[in-house]
Chain A
Amino acid sequence: MPALSAHQDQLEAEAIHALREAAAVFRKPVILYSIGKDSSVLLHLAIKAFHPARPPFALLHVDTTWKFREMIAFRDRRMKELDLSLIVHVNREGLARGIGPLSHGAAVHTDIMKTEALKQALGLYGFDAAIGGARRDEEPSRAKERIFSLRSAGHRWDPRSQRPELWHLYNGRLSPGESIRVFPLSNWTELDIWTYIARENIPVVPLYFAASRMVSSATAC
């Protein structure tokens, strides 16, 4: 399917451009690796963008300690195969307080074990740009994101103070305390992700494939 392939090439070029810009502009950029299919594509693109050199990014996984075991096994296996080192950050304080989705509810758990944990890690290592695999087709507030999304001190996002991105020119200038989130896959759809995974033969967690599994219909939390 040549038409589809040209579309994939264009998305790939756009993402690689954003990744190279991030490498060029920021002092200490990090890839947020969350083990999912989008992270797998992002990592693949980062490797491709700088081949044969290693991607000039640190890699970070924010572990809530509630991920599927298959995800963790996949993560460790992939890092070994790719010979990459991954920073795994857990919010130790949250863990000590016993924060979890069942005891505290989804909102508190996500806030403390994901958002807070991410902010801790970014501060701890001094990363000035965090590259993630979020896409615009996922959810309405992600739909209005920039590719270089400005975060104020304290990592706050103000949709109204975002910078224009005309002609794919990204503005990575930062005042003290500010940081940027980079979303190279912004314009990809879920279908694009899967088509690209098939085209490039990118390994993904087996949970994405249908199988007979023990599940219960639950109104969790």
Chain B
Amino acid sequence: MLILRDDERLTLLPTETPELRWVRFRTLGCYPLTGAIESDADTLEAIVGEMLTARTSERQGRLIDRDEAGSMEKKKREGYF
């Protein structure tokens, strides 16, 4: 997962070296839990074009949805949206 380190609270492991890449976010949440995707869609038209060929859900970039089996259902039962 491509993580954007938005502030000092997130420390990188010695093996993790940040690099400049063309990325965007399909979904936005807490920054350490939200992965960027590689993309060059920098306009609305390009994003719409990207959507037409997308074969995965935007939630693929959300770590919390997949931390265990049936994760979202469990969270929803507990009151998550």
Which 7 residue pairs across A and B have the least CB separation, nearest first?
Answer: A155-B79, A66-B30, A141-B73, A191-B51, A210-B24, A198-B44, A215-B2
Interface digits, A103-128 against B, CB 8 Å rule (1 contact, 0 not)? 00111011100110011000000000
Interface digits, A125-147 against B, CB 8 Å rule (1 contact, 0 not)? 00000101010011111100000
Alpha-carbon distance between A159 and B68 when the two chains are bound, in angstroms: 19
Determine if A68 is an interface residue (Cβ-Cβ < 8 Å).
Answer: yes
Chain A residues with CB under 8 A of B6: 68-69
Main secondary structure of the interface of A (DSSP, over half): mixed
Interface digits, B7-41 against A, CB 8 Å rule (1 contact, 0 not)? 10110110011111111111111111110100111
Residues of A within 8 A of B (CB): 32, 34-37, 64, 66-69, 71, 100-102, 105-107, 109-111, 114-115, 118-119, 130, 132, 134, 137-142, 151, 154-159, 181, 190-191, 194-195, 197-198, 205, 207-221
Interface digits, B64-79 against A, CB 8 Å rule (1 contact, 0 not)? 1101101011011111
Give A101's nearest chain B residue, CB to CB.
Answer: B32
Let me know if A218 and B79 touch, CB within 8 A.
no
Looking at A107, A158, A205, the one whose CB has the most chain B CB atoms below 10 A away is A107
Chain A residues with CB under 8 A of B65: 139
Let me know if A190 and B67 touch, CB within 8 A.
no
